Amino acid sequence: MITLGIDPGTAICGFGFVENLRGNFVAKNFGVITTSPQALMQDRLLKIYIELDALIKNFQPQILAVEKLFFGKNSTTAISVAQARGIVLLAAAQNNLDLIEITPNEVKQSVTGYGAATKEQVIYMVTKILNLDAPPKPDDAADALAIALAATYEADSLTRRNFLGDLS
């Protein structure tokens, strides 16, 4: 099973593909989609959609996982992240992908065992779990891989519960 994790943003949108090979997790691809701050918002969103759609068609994930929107103090940032997140949801729907939405604390808990882990702790664990030679760069790509890992764990857990429920 291949899971695509997305760390949404309009300037930098992180992506990471993780494959679960019988409990061994492999990073198939990761990186970022970047857009110019000088470009019109509709053009930035279109670029994210086109590149994301091409990645989905190339790597054919079964699940798309995206971080739930977190409202901080900067509402302008939250609005642009929400717009990018909408594009991600559209790409998931148009490609018939199962969608998992996950909070930042759920990602940290899943990957490190601690819901208040630091960014450095999350990156360290992503590097170890995926057996990478070096920490993924930039941080947005590392975050996307963490989201993909957390969603893969969640999907595996749901599958096991459904299977065990079928046995009773």
Angle at 119 between CA 125 and CA 12, to 5 degrees: 110
Question: Is 140 annotated as catalytic?
Answer: yes
Cβ(132)–Cβ(92) under 8 Å? Answer: no
Clarify whether 43 is annotated catalytic: no
CA–CA distance, 75 with 92 (Å, rounded to integer): 25
Considering the candidates 7, 51, 106, 143, report the single residue annotated as catalytic: 7
106 catalytic per annotation = no
Which residue out of 19, 51, 106, 140 is catalytically annotated?
140
CA dist., res. 102 & res. 40, Å (int): 29
- Which candidate in 51, 67, 106, 143 is catalytic? 67
Catalytically active residues, by annotation: 7, 67, 140
